[in-house]
Amino acid sequence: MNISLLGAAGLQDCADSGMDCMDGFGALVLLYGGGFILASIWISLCLVGTADVIIAGLSAWLAYRRSRQISKKAGPDPAPYWT
């Protein structure tokens, strides 16, 4: 009869003995770790893209508004060239 002395041992004792105490744990860590990294990259890219769209829209709006202010200051030409 074989009795495992590590049956009631903690996870550290199991890991120190070189046994694979939790089958598939490495793959689980790899899957969640990789998923976390990919999710972080995706969220970062979404934030950068959103900031780019906002900056481009704000720049276009400011350029449009400035062009309208310049045209209002100049006003209509009092003496067109054809008169």
> Average pLDDT per run of 10 along the chain, which is 83 residues long?
56 69 78 94 97 95 86 65 62
C-alpha to C-alpha distance for 78 and 60, rounded to whole angstroms: 31
* pTM (whole model) above 0.85: no
- For the purposes of burial, counting CB atoms within 10 Å of the CB of 21, is it exposed (0-12), middle (13-18) or buried (19 or more)? middle
C-alpha to C-alpha distance for 22 and 58, rounded to whole angstroms: 54
What was the pLDDT predicted at 7? 53
CA angle 5, 21, 3 (to 5 degrees): 25
Give the CA distances from residue 20 to residues 12, 17, 29, in Å, rounded to whole numbers and listed in that order: 11, 9, 14
